[in-house]
Amino acid sequence: FFSMGYFKGKKILITGGSSGIGKACAEYTLKDGAHVMIIGRRKELLDTAQMELRKVAAEGQKVEILQLDISDEAAVNAAAPKVLETLGGLDILINNAGIANCGYLQNETADNYREMMNINYFGTVWVTKAFTEHFMVQKHGHIGFTSSVLGLMGLFGYSAYAASKFAMTGYADCLRMDLLKYNIGVHVCFPPDTDTPQHAEELKGMPAETKAVAGQIKMMAAEDVAKAFLDGMAAGTYHIVPSFGNKLTMWAVRHLPGISRFFIDRDIKSVWTVESDVPPVTAESVQQKKLQQDALQTEQTSGSEAALSSIAPPKDCAPATEEAHEAKSVPEA
């Protein structure tokens, strides 16, 4: 942990700070002498985290909490002056709050995509915008983002999550250039699968195809990710990629994309059986497909019924039944 001493006396705001990587960042910077405020949506988790974090703080250090839904732009703007007043300023903003879900594409709803973007992307933007003018006037400080390895590559089952993290990565890329003349450091951390309560929830609905790929990657402890993030921030590193294995994966995806896709696709296909060579479909998607087929059949027969009545339909062209679809589906792991 090479950045010890760098954060002494600094005023730090961490979103998503009640657990996981955010809480670990709070703990390490408090041990280094910083003043910290953590943001979260659940008051009970914030209270517990504050109690635990106070145990590592010295007398006189601030350990503050703020219950806030960062996807609410108006609430974020209203809270910003209070944050600055409580902390006595702001030197470092760590945008760590985020949610994830993993599942088959056909099971994703419009609400899944909206929620992912509202918190992971727009929530991050609202918080950053609320303090950008403060940093510009101050002409020093750091703004950090906890993205993901899926902020630079896609993965089976993560269409909603990866899209929100790609958006965050693009925003941070522009922000870095916009703030160059103001001497504000911008940093993006790309952790792999991390041992957090959120990841434990993801595993409950994770498709077998995703596990076949993700199982190749060693999970990191939240504390190790936090150390790498803070070290990179202190060193002025823009893209922070924890662990050698993660660096190797990111390098391969960037410089050998075709080869990377070959091995990823191979792992995905490995869970499909000879009899069931396509991903499973849900009852809803089967019903939707049947309705589409019925509508098409009605359209085709709405012309001259007399002319069609003399033609017997070929046996092998009968509409696929729900049972036929289910027979081709792959059972979920």
**H-state helical runs in the chain:** 20-31, 43-54, 73-87, 110-116, 124-138, 159-178, 197-204, 208-214, 222-235, 244-255, 257-269, 283-301, 305-309, 322-328
**How many other CB atoms are found less than 10 A from the CB of residue 87?**
18
- Is 161 annotated as catalytic? yes
Give the span between the Cα atoms of 91 and 191, in whole angstroms: 23
Give the span between the Cα atoms of 213 and 262, in whole angstroms: 12
Give the span between the Cα atoms of 72 and 51, in whole angstroms: 27
Q: Please provide the DSSP assignment of 194-212 as one string.
A: EESHHHHHHHHT--HHHHH
Q: Which of 10, 11, 23, 165 is catalytic?
A: 165
User: Residue 265's Cα: distance from chain center in Å?
Assistant: 22
DSSP label of 100: -
Give the span between the Cα atoms of 330 and 248, in whole angstroms: 32
- Is 165 annotated as catalytic? yes
**Which residues pair with residue 186 across a beta bridge?**
143
Give the span between the Cα atoms of 88 and 36, in whole angstroms: 11
Helix (H) / strand (E) containing 186 = strand 184-189
- 148 CB-contact burial (10 Å; exposed 0-12 / middle 13-18 / buried 19+): buried
Q: Which of 19, 161, 164, 227 is catalytic?
A: 161
Q: Which of 18, 19, 147, 164 is catalytic?
A: 147
Residues whose CB is less than 8 angstroms from the CB of residue 254 and which lie 6 or more positions away in sequence, other chains included: 152
- Is 147 annotated as catalytic? yes
Rounded to 5 degrees, what angle do the CA atoms 72, 75, 79 make? 135
Residue with tokens 């992912």: 116
Catalytic residues: 147, 161, 165
